[in-house]
Amino acid sequence: MYDDEAYLSKLETASWIYICFQPAPSCLSLYTLWFPWDKKTNYQYTLWALAKATGRLPLPAVGFDTFPRFLDACPFCSKLQANLEHILMRCVHSSRERSSLRAPRESWHSFAVFIFGGSFMPDDEYGLDPRIIFVADCTLQTAAKIELSRIEGEDAI
């Protein structure tokens, strides 16, 4: 049974970004389980949700066998110890797409709340939320450029 008090008591010491802006696990809506996703939309949402839940670049979902908190170096600008914050918010590589989102840039926390807060559903008229597409695109572009071991004999999710 979900224990709200126990969950909230861990907020202070948790290192996952997930804790920062999800007041409860239910914020990843169960409604998403029954939505009639197409394959691409489902995949993009999976990448976004995994990044949201862990605060890491969702490399296992794109065929890697590692799930590092930091890349040794950013494949686009060579910044050392590049993490999800760098790839999504700071790297020059994603600046054009990031600008079009009009995300707040005062802090990683405000940026992350904007990108990951809530539970976005596809819209029949406009499609998937551009914030989800942004995270998915950044993940796929980064994965295409980095040299890490891949899962042998298995396809990505």
Q: List interacting residues with Zn ion (CB under 5 A).
A: 74, 76-77, 79, 91
Whose Cβ is closer to Zn ion: residue 32's or residue 141's? 141
Residue pointed to by tokens 């802090």: 107
Q: Residue 79 Cβ, how far from Zn ion at the closest point, in Å?
A: 5
d(CA 24, CA 81): 30
Q: Residue 90 Cβ, how far from Zn ion at the closest point, in Å?
A: 7
Within 10 Å of residue 40's Cβ, how many Cβ atoms?
A: 11
Q: Residue 3 Cβ, how far from Zn ion at the closest point, in Å?
A: 40
d(CA 34, CA 21): 24
Q: Residue 57 Cβ, how far from Zn ion at the closest point, in Å?
A: 12
d(CA 115, CA 134): 9
Whose Cβ is closer to Zn ion: residue 49's or residue 62's? 62
d(CA 77, CA 92): 7
Whose Cβ is closer to Zn ion: residue 57's or residue 128's? 57
Whose Cβ is closer to Zn ion: residue 76's or residue 116's? 76
